[in-house]
Amino acid sequence: MYLLLFALLIYSGSTFAQKIEVKGKVVDQSTGEPLGGVSIITNKIKGALLTKQDGTFALSLDKGASTLVFTYVGYVPQSVSASTSTVLNILLVPNTLSQEEVVVIGYGTQKKSSLTGAVVKYKNDRMDESPLSRLDQALQGRIAGLTVQNISSEAGAAPKINIRGISSINAGSSPLVVVDGQPIPDGLAFLNMADVESVEVLKDAASAAIYGSRGSGGVILVTTKKGTADKPKYVLKYSVGEKKDYKRYDIMTTGEYIGLLFQEMAKRAQDSTVLPANNTVADGDRASYVVENLFRGGQSTDWQGESLRPATFQNVMLSVAGGKKDVRYFLSTGYQNDEGMMYKSNYEKLNIRTRVDLDLSKKVKLSLNVNPSYSKRSAPSENFTNFWRFPTWLPVYHNAATAAFVNTNPQYAGIRAGDYAHPRHFSGLSYAGSMPDGTNWTSGATTVNPSGSAQQNPKSAVIRTDISNNEYRLQSSADLNIILLPGLTFKTLASTYLNYTNGLDFSRRSANRDGDNNRGEFTNNVFIDLLSENTLNYVKSVGKSDFNILAGFTSQKTTISRDQTAAIDFPSDEIRTLNSAAQLDKLGTFGTKNQIGLLSYLGRLNYAYDDKYLLSASFRADGSSYFGPGNKWGTFPSISLGWVASKEKFLSNIDWLSNLKFRGSYGVSGNNRITDFAFLDLMYGANYSLGSGTGTSSPGLVNSPTIISNPAITWESTYQSNFGLDMSLFSGKLGITLDAYKSKTDKLLLQQSAMAFTGVPQFWNNIGSLRNTGIEIELTTRNIQTKSFKWSTSANISQNKNSIIELGTEAYLLNQGERTEVYRNKVGNPLVQYFGFKTDGVWTSQEQINKAIAGGLTSSLSNVFVPGGLKIVDVNGDNKIDNEDRTDLGNPYPDFTWGITNNFSFKGFDASFSFQGVQGGKLINGDPNYNESRRTIKVYNENRWVSAKFPGDGKTPFSTLGYNWMLTDYVIEDASYVSLRDVNIGYTIPADFMKKLKVNSLRFYLSAQNLYFKTAKGYRGLNPEGRFTNGAYSSVLVDGYQRGSFPIPKTVLIGIDINF
Amino acid sequence: MKRHLFTLIICIILFASCKKNIEIYPLSNVTTATFYKNTTDIQTALIGCYNGLQKPLLEEWKMSELRSDNAIMGNAASKSVPNRDLSDLDLFIPNTSHQGIYNFWINTYANIRNVNVLLNSLNVNYSKSTGSITSDTSAVLISSKDKKELSAEAAFIRAYHYFNLVRQFGGVFLVHEPLSPFDATSLNRETADEIYKLIIADLSYAIANGPAFKYASIPAATLGRVNSWTAKALLAKVYLTQNRKADAIPLLTDIISNSGYGLVATYSDVFSISNEMNREILFAIRYKAGGIGLGSPFPNSFAPELSGTAVIIGDGGGFNTPSSDLNLTYAATDLRKGISIGEYGNTKVLYPKKMISPVSIVNDAENDWIVMRFADVVLMLAEAQGNTTASLALINQTRKRAGLTDLLPAAVSTVALFEKELANERRLEFTFENMRWYDLMRYNKTMTTITAEQTLKNHYSAVYVAHYGKYPSPRPTLAQIQAYITTDRLLLPIPQREIDNNTTLKIPQNPGY
């Protein structure tokens, strides 16, 4: 259509032959600076005209419609039509979607225009102004296909991160993180965000294959800033703000809950189906009411308030960059203090970076990079769950009345007001007091326990326990570039990464239980990673052909040692060095040392013909110490092709299409991230005491009780194909990148279940395969671009589907989670599906049950036919409710994830709003497993069943009745959400004014996170992103379980950014 | 330029020598393949097998004491998963995926694997067809005396594990050599008889090859190790369990006359932590306090729940709660009652006191777990001999130590009376020593008037009002609970995982599950 119009314009233009005058000025759209030397092409004049130095031009053209095309390097070409004499003011738009943009790829860089793989570049554009302490969190919602999930909101906690879904089961599936060429496991944690120049994500296997062995989870390349030959430029940034919980649980106080029980009792009394003997409030509940009402005067403890606090977030950054012709430098230092919302939760980080680039000669270049950093993390000893599920009748500290009361038990005669109160203090006593219905109640001589909890009150445990961890890191590298021949460069990089961690978990006397000894656990871990990379790169152009050939080898060796010493009985809680401990505790004491080696050969050919036809082929062979002799080597080839269609003649004249490129790739990447020495059976210490008296410990060894090795274990490989297209339309106003992929992971490194009578429950095997398919779309638009007001948008959306193709000989695996909930991994289905019973509200009456039973319904399960309990659906319709009725109840994988950022600027003001969300995907809410949550969280008690006559909403079961909730869909909830993840509003003081102060620029900003967070209907928790399960159950096959979700943090900070 | 090329070449040479980089072997662990070379290695591996005895013991009380009439699930009101699992065992309605049963199973088989690897390295093998152990030369540098003794101990440990398995599960999987996961799927359950064949072969081997010092001359450093007498005592119990009384008698009399083992003076001396491995102890699974990772967890798990520091530092789990009928069975003058059963707090919560000693770290107590002691030998002989005067004298040995008067022949005038007295005596003597359940099962064969089923039904009616009647509603009636006990359910279910995990063979489940 446009093509046709264009042709018509050209045609109509040539039919008249009178002169018109066209003149005007060309300026840069963003800065307003005049542009000289801009070429102007029209259909009326042969050859090109250039604008003058001041940007002006004047043309004399034949009358009639003419098209003027203004082109200038680094700007989007603009065409204007003129039919009469006119003055044109041309605003040329800098080409940020420029084909000239350079992208970092594995072992090199490439022009974006000749890229053939799925690589996304994310520039650090005020990323460092977000109130976040980690780079990975800042990437959330920014890049299609990269999912970042904040599974914990604790300060400094690592999010769950993956690229294009889960490609592995028992081997690690997280992306490989490479910082300035060196793979660093915790690369996204320690970096100072202000040092980051850009982040590139290699999504498809073809791009990642050059990282061979470790590329199957995708690769994240981080490039840090460097200096340019210029006078020193200083940047100082400071921001400070406050973090608060977005939402808390609505918790009933003991008074409210026991009040509810009495109301329910009164209701049941009106119901003839309820036996009076069964219509009581339990003594324990009455006793708890007495404590809160009588001894505490109706005061209740807000345990959430006891654990949470408004926390501060602070960020300081200072850098200087500059250089002379031969020496360029970048120095920076950054400090962050991220206080957690929970007491004692804190993350502090100090970073220093020095980067020097030296041109030793015309042919030899050296660059040095030294990055020491320090971080300190402290954590509360109790998690948030342990707070909110504690009963509100229990005070944190005894008051005079509660102390006097518990003193009546001789065991607790010594307790005084002000001492910590614990549930056990209130056990084994007689209670008496008035009840919510006005009656008086006494337990008489019978003793009552208002709480059966053996736990200490959580606040006392947190205050008396200190958990801290110090990490000292030093990343440094030196690389030497030598131009051997024209076009041939040799590069050698030596890089080291040292990480020393020391920690102390210290619990004071009686911190966890009365009479407990004080105890310290001292940890010392050393991680040393040495990398040598050597590459030869040859660049050559012959005619229209451009070649870029890379060959290299790398060698990496990692040494890890971990030591932990546990000691007890320190004479003072405040002297915490090992020398003062009276006794060591072998159970917490160990030391291990391990080495990991990787050896690789790699090669790549990039070929471009006329910048139109592109080809890239790469190959990598990796030898890994993770595998046994004969199985160490894996090969990872890839090929990708590109076609820049917009450069073809038949498309080059279309003015609204500035770029159209098709890409296709296929590649193999590997995975070796399993436990060490899976190919060997190891023996572990198992001592035993023999001899007279209490015996003497003798050293013993046994075989591993957890897994049997497999000498044949080898690489897991992911084969992925990717099809993509890049488009730039309407003078770059709209940019579209579209990718579709399909991958298959074969020879999964699987911890397969062994028959338990072999003595070991699992063995290593390469078996089974997985599939991931997906679509990713990224859009960038420049909606309004005027001199004073600009509005641009970038948006991304991605979808990934996975399914199991094969699991060896198994049709499916069933895995039990922390609370007996079941996960099914079935061939042909998504990797994890929740597996359990469907329910249809509750059984409202015995009559209803009797009718169903009379209709032939039976069950071999217990607690199925209980009024007030969940009504399980007979899914297979055999009139029998049994395990065969279990069915798929949804999965944890979202339908799609998305992010959208709008950037505005108006004169000195700028603003950016990033929304981000996840649609679809379910989670298992683990909280209903706990009686305390069922009783205290209001949402579980509203409209619940009381009796046949008062069935509530017919959907909410009574807390103690019927079938185990955890095995049904009653606990499966929608995990979708929409969040206003990031807001950044700034004001830059006008430059003219600042020049007088010799300041280049000064900007104030306000940055906020999670100002708005909307969760799905039916979600009963606090944070749909939260995932928390017992360590033993943290497996990819047991996914989507959430217990005691920690609140979402809402952070607001203000900052200043000075450049001088 | 030449200089640069030179650098390049150096780099390539350096790199070529990096091959070693990926030939890495463990620095922190020994590997099985290269380990078993000499006597010290075998000894070290055997110590590991002794250590492996501890883990199944963590679960065994649930299968023995809790299922018997000795103990009840203390926290009746709790609906938490671990507590509900214990209630299910107590009530004979465990599901086939029961965690405790599975743990008992896998931890037992894990140590059987340890033993099998050790015996295999010594080339000491069991032949299923001949039902005997053969010992052939192996590559291990070891004297024949050491080889005999060490392999005898290992064989005993294997027999001990299989004996527990066959009594709890019936015919199980017969694994007598290291088994690869690939071969395991073609192995199905054996009959109980086949399992007993292996047990008897192992114990006969241990009797023939184990050291046979009299108690007084056992080298002090080896106290706690299994010897020929230990094996004889266990074999006697195996025979008795199979109702082969005549085979058991000579073994038992041999121990009584020739071993040098005997009863200690007082009942409390048997369990005192300052008197470990005393002359009454034929076999104990040993623990050692002191923060060396070898302490006993039982005091903390058995002390009453919420008792704070009153009974033991670090609070108790309240497990293995004595039943009220057990408490009432003791005669008022029985000295054993105060040693075996403790009472805590105003409400006098009962707890097993026998194996509780103070700790300074939670789950780190000194108490050895006694598996077989001389009193057992004495009472087994009485059981094997039946109602004779000699048997009466044997029973009176333990009664006397307990401060009770002698039983007179008139009190055991009938078989029923004798059996009742003997069973009663064993119950009170071995409370919480993981014996009651196996005894009840055995009485079904060796006695004519006592059945496990009826004993348990009586137990339920004795404690129903005070205990099961207080379970959260909807609670089962007494008749319902009594109906849970069927002859089939005396055996535990084979863990569901074993059945689900084998896609080649159909593994039969025990009937009743």
Residue predicted with more confidence, A897 or A206: A897
Is it the case that residue A718 has pLDDT exceeding 60? Answer: yes
Q: Where are the beta strands (DSSP E) in A281-427?
A: 311-323, 327-339, 346-359, 364-379
What's the pLDDT score for residue B110? 96
* Nearest CA among A179, A152, A176, A175 for reference residue A162: A175
What's the pLDDT score for residue A3? 40
Among B11, B47, B73, most A C-beta atoms within 10 A, so best to mutate, is: B47
Residues B30, A683: C-beta atoms closer than 8 Å: yes
Residues B346, A568: C-beta atoms closer than 8 Å: no
Residues of chain B contacting A452 with CB distance shorter than 8 Å = 75, 77-78, 305-306
What's the pLDDT score for residue A99? 46
Residues A452, B44: C-beta atoms closer than 8 Å: no
What's the pLDDT score for residue B10? 59
Average pLDDT for B246-263:
97
Name the pLDDT band for A2 (thresholds 50, 70, 90).
Answer: very low
- Match 């589907």 to its residue by tokens: A801
Query: Which residues, numbered 208 to 237 in chain B, qualify as contacts with chain A under a Cβ-Cβ cut-off of 8 Å?
Result: 220-225
Decide: A26 and A60 in contact? Cβ < 8 Å. Answer: no
Average pLDDT for B75-89:
79
Gap from B284 CA to chain A (nearest CA, Å): 11
Note the pLDDT tens digit of each residue in A635-668: 999 999 999 998 888 887 788 888 899 999 999 9
Gap from B265 CA to chain A (nearest CA, Å): 18
Average pLDDT for A782-802:
92
User: Looking at the partner chain, which of A424, A568, A753 has a beta carbon nearest the beta carbon of B306?
Assistant: A424
Average pLDDT for A219-237:
89
What's the pLDDT score for residue A11? 41
C-alpha–C-alpha distance, residues A403 and A419, integer Å: 8
Note the pLDDT tens digit of each residue in A258-295: 999 999 999 999 988 888 877 888 888 999 999 999 99
What token pair was written down for A401?
């009345």
Average pLDDT for A410-423:
93
Is it the case that residue A942 has pLDDT exceeding 90? Answer: no
C-alpha–C-alpha distance, residues B178 and A682, integer Å: 15
- Match 């102890």 to its residue by tokens: B281
Is it the case that residue B482 has pLDDT exceeding 70? Answer: yes
Note the pLDDT tens digit of each residue in B291-307: 899 999 999 999 998 88
What token pair was written down for B44?
């070290």
Note the pLDDT tens digit of each residue in B382-429: 999 999 999 999 999 999 999 999 999 999 999 999 999 999 999 999
C-alpha–C-alpha distance, residues A892 and A918, integer Å: 11
Residues of chain A contacting B187 with CB distance shorter than 8 Å = 755, 757
Kind of pairing, strands A56-62 and A66-71?
A: unpaired
Full DSSP string of A362-393: SSEEEEEEEEEEEEEEEE-SS-HHHHHTS-TT
Note the pLDDT tens digit of each residue in A183-199: 888 888 888 888 999 99
Is it the case that residue B18 has pLDDT exceeding 80? Answer: no
What's the pLDDT score for residue A246? 93
Residues B22, A623: C-beta atoms closer than 8 Å: yes
Percent of chain A scoring above 90 in pLDDT = 56
Residues A960, B79: C-beta atoms closer than 8 Å: yes
Residues B28, A686: C-beta atoms closer than 8 Å: no
State which residue of chain B sits closest to A554, comparing Cα positions: B15
Name the pLDDT band for A444 (thresholds 50, 70, 90).
Answer: confident
B117 Cβ under 8 Å from any chain A Cβ? yes
Decide: A1046 and A229 in contact? Cβ < 8 Å. Answer: no
Residues B46, A700: C-beta atoms closer than 8 Å: yes
Among A424, A533, A694, A1030, most B C-beta atoms within 10 A, so best to mutate, is: A694
Gap from A160 CA to chain B (nearest CA, Å): 29
What token pair was written down for A555?
């060698």
Is it the case that residue B255 has pLDDT exceeding 60? Answer: yes
What's the pLDDT score for residue A16? 43
What's the pLDDT score for residue A918? 95
Query: Which residues, numbered 11 to 40 in chain B, qualify as contacts with chain A under a Cβ-Cβ cut-off of 8 Å?
Result: 11-12, 15, 18-19, 21-33, 35
Gap from A199 CA to chain B (nearest CA, Å): 30
What's the pLDDT score for residue A12? 40
C-alpha–C-alpha distance, residues B186 and A930, integer Å: 42
Decide: A439 and A265 in contact? Cβ < 8 Å. Answer: no
User: Looking at the partner chain, which of B49, B360, B498 has a beta carbon nearest the beta carbon of A568?
Assistant: B360
Among B6, B7, B22, most A C-beta atoms within 10 A, so best to mutate, is: B22
Average pLDDT for B311-323:
91
Is it the case that residue A106 has pLDDT exceeding 80? Answer: yes
User: Looking at the partner chain, which of A534, A597, A698 has a beta carbon nearest the beta carbon of B21?
Assistant: A597
Note the pLDDT tens digit of each residue in A964-980: 898 899 999 999 999 99
What token pair was written down for A839?
């329910």
Residues of chain A contacting B168 with CB distance shorter than 8 Å = none
Average pLDDT for A134-141:
88
State which residue of chain A sits closest to B3, comparing Cα positions: A484
C-alpha–C-alpha distance, residues A623 and A880, integer Å: 56
Could you write out the three-class secondary structure of A652-696? HCCCCEEEEEEEEEEEEEEECCCCCCCCCCEEEECCEEECCCCCE
What's the pLDDT score for residue A688? 97
Burial of A94 (0-12, 13-18, 19+ CB in 10 A): middle
Is it the case that residue A14 has pLDDT exceeding 50? Answer: no
Gap from B33 CA to chain A (nearest CA, Å): 7
Give just the sign of the alpha carbon dihedral B161, B163, B168, B174.
Answer: positive
Is it the case that residue A323 has pLDDT exceeding 80? Answer: yes
Q: Return the top range by mean pLDDT from A705-719, A1008-1022, B78-92.
A: A1008-1022
Among A453, A560, A675, A758, most B C-beta atoms within 10 A, so best to mutate, is: A758
Is it the case that residue A47 has pLDDT exceeding 70? Answer: no
Residues B277, A569: C-beta atoms closer than 8 Å: no
Gap from A566 CA to chain B (nearest CA, Å): 9
What single-letter DSSP state applies at residue A612? T
Decide: A325 and A359 in contact? Cβ < 8 Å. Answer: yes
Residues A757, B30: C-beta atoms closer than 8 Å: no
What's the pLDDT score for residue A364? 93
Write the CB contacts of B499 (distance below 8 Å, at least 6 apart in sequence).
B96, B507, B509
Beta-carbon contacts below 8 Å between A and B: 302
Residues of chain A contacting B92 with CB distance shorter than 8 Å = none
Note the pLDDT tens digit of each residue in A579-616: 999 989 988 999 999 999 999 999 999 999 988 999 99
Give just the sign of the alpha carbon dihedral A1022, A1026, A1031, A1034.
Answer: positive
C-alpha–C-alpha distance, residues A861 and A880, integer Å: 10
Instruction: Look up the pTM and report it.
Output: 0.85
| Chain centre to alpha carbon of residue B296 | 14
Residues B110, A760: C-beta atoms closer than 8 Å: yes
Count of CB atoms situated within 10 Å of the CB of B293: 18
Name the pLDDT band for B13 (thresholds 50, 70, 90).
Answer: low
- Residue B80 amino acid letter: S
What's the pLDDT score for residue B11? 57
Average pLDDT for A488-513:
92
Residues B113, A758: C-beta atoms closer than 8 Å: yes
Is it the case that residue A622 has pLDDT exceeding 50? Answer: yes
C-alpha–C-alpha distance, residues B304 and B309, integer Å: 10
Residues A701, B184: C-beta atoms closer than 8 Å: no
* Nearest CA among B308, B215, B230 for reference residue B50: B230
Of A345-354, A724-733, B72-81, the least confident: B72-81
Query: Which residues, numbered 57 to 116 in chain B, qualify as contacts with chain A under a Cβ-Cβ cut-off of 8 Å?
Result: 75, 77-81, 93, 97, 102, 105-107, 109-114, 116
Full DSSP string of B377-441: HHHHHHHHH-S-HHHHHHHHHHHHHTTPPPPPGGGG-SHHHHHHHHHHHHHHHTTTTT-HHHHHH
What's the pLDDT score for residue A787? 81
B502 Cβ under 8 Å from any chain A Cβ? yes
Residues B45, A757: C-beta atoms closer than 8 Å: no
Residues B181, A484: C-beta atoms closer than 8 Å: no
